[in-house]
Structure 1
Amino acid sequence: MEDTKTLTFPLDPQSEKFITLALFTNVKNTAEIRDKLLSGELRCCLLKPALIIDPFQVAVAANKAVCAEMFGDLVTKSVFTETLYNLSITKSISKALNLFGSVDNDTDIMVGLIHKDGAQEAGMKSILELIQGEQVPVSRLGDFSDLEKIQKIYKINETELQVSTLVDSIATRISVKDFVSF
């Protein structure tokens, strides 16, 4: 039975991969987690929940990342950094990673684990054992989202929101990033 505090999305069927998301607050050791991430000991992505309006936003970026990995077209070094890169509308890797990736003093983090079917439990276990903070249900993501900042980053105005939802507008921007300049 899946833990209700995590949320798993299937990604492109050919990739045979999934993304599982977990949300944490009051994290005391983000710097240590980032060190393990940068050293390769930990294989996931750490996201700033303030910039995520809906888990679907991350699933779209992760799906694009696993497709790029399948075709040998990664812009960054891993499917995890590619997910962060895909969340941004900028084509600057460093700007995207700095904007959407967690920093040492963040106390709220979202973890994205990309895995094959059946590998979620082991991957999440190592992450859960490391994080010194409170895991909260992903359904609470809206409590952490900064709507004003999200709209500014994605350049979404009120007129656009009269004909589309914020999540749909963001998903569209992520999907067409390679073809359109915002």
Structure 2
Amino acid sequence: MKSFPVDGGHSVSLALYSDVSNSRELLDLMQSGTLEPEVAFLNASLITESLKRCGISGDTTYILAARFDASDEEMKAVEKLISGAEIDLGELESRANQPQILKHYKISPQELLVSTLPDAIVCRIAARDAL
């Protein structure tokens, strides 16, 4: 788990998990409003897309957990909720589902010859926002 400062003196805490076996249970807790502590679960293989699709599905095995202004106790409680292995956040980029990302953003192999994947994604998002 890592915490990062955000504006206004707040922070966001993130933890990345692989081999998660109880995503259906986590999804049910979120949808019923009984998840304690409240935390956002995102499919880490498609982070932007998972925000649009309300986080995780019942078969998600790679999860990014996020909470604003979390205490150490709250993040320990989140860790106990998830049946999976916490891994370093640095693995997020290398474990992303690149073929699905390429398809979603319509990035061609030729474009990657002159640009990086993150740059191509940022370009798509910026162009969409400008329209």
Instruction: Give how far 1:95 is off.
Output: 9.0
Matched, 1:41 2:35: yes
Q: Equivalent residue of 2:11, what SS?
A: strand
Unaligned runs of 5+ in 2: none
CA contact (8 A) 2:17 2:87 kept: yes
Residue correspondences, number: 129
1:7 maps to amino acid: K
Q: 1:96 aligns with which of 18, 28, 52?
A: 52
Classify 1:7/1:150 alpha carbon distance in 2 versus 1 (closer, same or farther; 3 Å): farther
Q: How big is each residue's C-alpha offset from its partner over 1:140-172, in whole Å with a ceiling of 9 and x where there is no partner?
A: 224521211111112222343344321233244
User: What TM-score, normalized by structure 1, do the two folds share?
Assistant: 0.58
Q: How big is each residue's C-alpha offset from its partner over 1:49-77, in whole Å with a ceiling of 9 and x where there is no partner?
A: 2224xxxxxxxxxxxxxxxxxxxxxxxxx
Distance 1:169 1:8 in 2: 27
Q: Deviation above 6 Å: which 4+ runs of structure 1?
A: none
1:104 maps to amino acid: G
Q: 2:2 aligns with which of 7, 10, 13?
A: 7
CA contact (8 A) 2:41 2:65 kept: yes
Unaligned runs of 5+ in 1: 1-5, 53-86, 89-93
Higher normalized contact order (CA 8 Å, seq sep 6+, divided by chain length): 1
Instruction: Give how far 1:128 is off.
Output: 0.6
1:164 maps to amino acid: S
Distance 1:31 1:106 in 2: 8
User: What TM-score, normalized by structure 2, do the two folds share?
Assistant: 0.76
Classify 1:164/1:44 alpha carbon distance in 2 versus 1 (closer, same or farther; 3 Å): farther
